Amino acid sequence: MESILITGVCGFIGYHLAHRLLEEGSHVVGIDNMNPYYEVALKKSRLSLLEESQGFSFVRGDLGNRPLVEGVFEKNRFETVVHLAAQAGVRYSLVDPYIYAERNITSLLPLLEGCRKREVRHLLFASSSSVYGEHGSMPREGNAFAARAFSAHDSVDHPVSLYAATKRAGELICHSYAAFAGLPVTALRFFTVYGPWGRPDMACYRFTRLILEGRPIDMYNFGKMRRDFTYIDDIVEGVVRIMSKPPVCDPSWKDSRPDPATSAAPFRVFNIGRGKPVELLRFVEIIEKELGKKALKNFIPIQPGDVTETFADTGDLTRVTGFAPEVPLEEGIRRFIRWYSEYHGV
C-alpha cells in the first residue's frame, strides 16, 4: 500500500497536513521525536487526534537514527515524503547552535538516502522565508517601506541567522540529491505561519497568552517589524497542491544565468505566503480587538538574526497550482482565538 511519510508530524504544520491527508483517505506514516523545544503536551494532544484515524501510523524517534529511518522505508512504500521536522527558532539558534546543525543538516541525510534507495516520486522539503535575509526590505525615510517581494528567483546566499543558514544548507543538500540521484525535490519557503494548534513560541500564540495574563509583549524593532502572516489552511493547501506536481528538469536552465528557483536537475523552489506584509503593531491591534483587552507593550531594538520584513512573491505558486493564499488576517486571528479559548479553557 502506498503511503505518505510526514516528518515532524506532531508539529504545527505536520499535524494540519496529516489531518488533511487522512480526511482525504490517504495512509500517513508520521515520524516525530517529540523534543521539548516547546510544550510536549501540545504535541501529544495533536498526536492523539491523529491516532483516531485508522489510516495513521506513528513512529517516535530521531531522523538521525539511521537504523530507525531505514526500517521505516523498508516497511513502507512511500510515493511522497514531506520533510517538516526541524529545529525551529531564529533567536534560539544563538543559544544552542549545535542542535541546529544536528537536527537541520545531519538528520536530513538518512531521509534523503531512504528516498534515493526507494525511488520516492517526490520529496518536499520545508524551508523558510528566513533564507532571504534582509535583501527584500528597502527602508526609506521615516517608517515607510519601499518593499519588494521576496522571489524564489532571487539569490539567497547571505543569511543573517544560523537557523536561516541551516535551512539554506538543507535546500542545497536536497538539490545535490536531485542532481546526482535524479530525486525530484521541491523546497517550500513558508512565511510566518499562524493558526489553531500553533507553536507557543510564535507571535500569535505568544501575544495572545501574554495579553490574557496581563504581561508585557516585547515589540522588537520598536514595533516596526513587518511579517507576511499566513494562515495554516493556506499553507496546507499549497503543500497538498504541490505534492502532486513533482519537479522536472528545466531544459532552458543555463549555468551562465542560473535561476535559483529552478534547475537542470528535478528541483524547484516555491514560496507559500499571503503576499501582504503587516506591521507588528497592526497584528497586535487585531488580537487586542478579538480578546477585548489591551496589550502592555515593551518597545525594544531589533534582535540579532532578525529581519525587519518578510514579503512573499507567490506568483509561481499560483501559476503552477492555480492557488493563492486567501484567508484574511482578521479571520485567521479570529479562528485562532476561538481555538485558544477552547483548548486552554479561557
pLDDT in tens, 273-290: 999 999 999 999 999 999
Considering the chain, what percentage of its residues have pLDDT values greater than 90?
Answer: 84
pLDDT for position 224: 87
pLDDT at 143 over 80: no
Of 19-33, 89-103, 311-325, the one with minimum mean pLDDT is 89-103
Provide the b/e sequence for 299-326 (b: ≥16 CB within 10 Å). eeeeeebbbbbbbbbbebbeeebebebe
pLDDT digits (tens, 9 = 90+) for 8-29: 999 999 999 999 999 999 999 9
Check residue 135 and give its pLDDT. 62
List the catalytic residues: 163
pLDDT score, position 123: 98
Q: Is residue 307 part of a domain?
A: no
Beta bridge partners of 128: 190
Say what the pLDDT of residue 145 is.
43
CATH label of the domain that carries residue 49:
3.40.50.720
* 214 found inside a domain: no
Residue at 180 is within a domain: yes
- Distance, CA of 149 to chain centre: 18
Across 298-304, average pLDDT: 88
For residue 244, give its domain range: 2-195+230-273+313-326
Q: Is a pLDDT exceeding 60 seen at residue 146?
A: no
Please write the tens of the pLDDT for every residue from 193-249: 999 999 999 999 999 999 999 999 999 888 888 999 999 999 999 999 999 999 999
Cβ count within 10 A of residue 165: 23
In DSSP terms, 78 is beta-bridged to: 3
> Rounded mean pLDDT of 131-135?
82
Predicted local confidence at residue 334, as pLDDT:
98
User: Does 4 score more than 50 pLDDT?
Assistant: yes
Retrieve residue 45's grid coordinates.
494532544
**121 lies in some domain:** yes
340 located within any domain: no
What distance in Å separates the CA atoms of residue 321 and residue 106, rounded to the nearest whole number? 32
The alpha-carbon radius of gyration of the chain (Å, integer) is 20
Residue 160 domain flag: yes
**Per-residue model confidence (pLDDT) at position 257:** 86
Pairwise CA distance, residues 213 & 197, whole Å: 19
Q: For position 277, what pLDDT does the model report?
A: 93
Q: Is residue 213, in this structure, part of any structural domain at all?
A: no
Q: Are strands 2-7 and 77-83 parallel, antiparallel or unpaired?
A: parallel
pLDDT at 1: 59
pLDDT, averaged across the chain: 93
In a domain, 291, yes or no: no
Residue written as grid cell 493547501: 237
Which of 22-26, 55-59, 138-142, 150-154 comes out lowest in average pLDDT? 138-142
- Structural contact between residues 145 and 137, judged by C-beta atoms closer than 8 angstroms: yes
Residue 306 has pLDDT above 60, yes or no: yes
Q: What is the pLDDT of residues 40-87, one digit of tens each?
A: 999 999 999 999 999 999 999 999 999 999 999 999 999 999 999 999
Helix, strand, coil shares of the chain, percent, nearest 5, are 40, 20, 40
**What is the structure's pLDDT at 309?**
85
pTM of the shown model = 0.94
Structural domain tally of the chain? 1
